[in-house]
Amino acid sequence: MSVVLYMSMSVDGFIAGPGDELGNGLGAGGEALHAWLAAGDGSPGSYRPENGPNATVFDEMIATGAVITGRRTFELAHGWDGDHHDDVPVFVLTRSEPADPASGHAHYVTDLEACVAEAKAAAGDRDVMVHGAATAQSMLRVGLLDELAIQLMPLLLGQGRRLFDDLPPELHELELLRSLEGPGVLHLSYRVRRTS
């Protein structure tokens, strides 16, 4: 089992356009980042592409046994109404735990390492899905991310929120696991290797 980051990213490296906020989670022009998904009704499972490589990758994503996400991503997504997929636990990283518990299958956690350990334990022999740029950056900094599953979208957004930002000048070698072209998207999977 692996801890895998799933993110749709434009060719110029953005995972949301400018002005991403509650009610417009993907920012200006950012909806195009999800063009590889089917039109859904708000619950993540309803966005399954019909078939082909896009469906394959989607199915892998929702076969994960736990989700780790950041508070910001979680709130912009309205907490996925308490269930990301199949009732798996959702661990929401936050600096300070709110007084009210998170909805549904979500839990707030403040310690990254403990969070990853809990998510792995909950997932058993399934992968853990990571979602959100800030969370990805935190996990890359301390070497807790095993794989990157990037849905590279044929698009230049020009501005917005970058996936890879605020990282130290530290070289990480990646190993290509798969390059899979689907309609309107290139799925790139890499294993993260910690060097130096």
Partner 1 sequence: MGAIRLDMTMSLDGYVAGPADDADNPMGLGGFRLFNWLDHREEKGPHGDAYAEMTASQAFISGRRTYELANHWDGDLHGGMPVFVLTHDVPDEPPPGSIRFIPPVHVCAIPARVAAVVAPTSVLGAGAAQSLLNAGELDELELHVVPVLLGQGRRLFDHLRTDPVTLELVRRGSTPEVQHLRYRLGQQT
Binding site for partner 1 (CB under 8 A): 11-13, 17, 29, 32, 140, 148, 150, 154-159, 162-164, 167-176, 179, 181, 186, 188, 190, 192
Bridge partners (DSSP) of residue 162 are: 14
Please, which residue, 84 or 187, has the CB nearer to partner 1? 187
Of 8, 23, 28, give the one whose Cα is nearest residue 159: 28
Q: Minimum distance from CB of 95 to partner 1 (Å)?
A: 23
Please, which residue, 90 or 140, has the CB nearer to partner 1? 140
Distance CA 92, CA 74 (A): 7
Q: Minimum distance from CB of 69 to partner 1 (Å)?
A: 20
Q: Do residues 57 and 67 lie in contact, with contact meaning Cβ atoms separated by under 8 Å?
A: no
Q: Minimum distance from CB of 108 to partner 1 (Å)?
A: 29
Q: Minimum distance from CB of 130 to partner 1 (Å)?
A: 15
Distances (CA, A) of 190 to 27, 50, 184: 27, 25, 20
Please, which residue, 94 or 137, has the CB nearer to partner 1? 137
Q: Minimum distance from CB of 32 to partner 1 (Å)?
A: 7
Q: Do residues 72 and 27 lie in contact, with contact meaning Cβ atoms separated by under 8 Å?
A: no
Of 90, 45, 50, give the one whose Cα is nearest residue 70: 90
Please, which residue, 85 or 172, has the CB nearer to partner 1? 172
Q: Minimum distance from CB of 82 to partner 1 (Å)?
A: 32
Please, which residue, 7 or 55, has the CB nearer to partner 1? 7
Kindly give, in sequence order, each residue whose CB lies less than 8 Å from that of residue 158, ignoring residues fewer than 6 positions away.
Answer: 12, 14
Three-state DSSP at 44 gives helix
Structure-token match 């199915």, residue found: 59
In angstroms, how far apart are the furthest CA atoms of the chain? 45
Please, which residue, 5 or 122, has the CB nearer to partner 1? 5
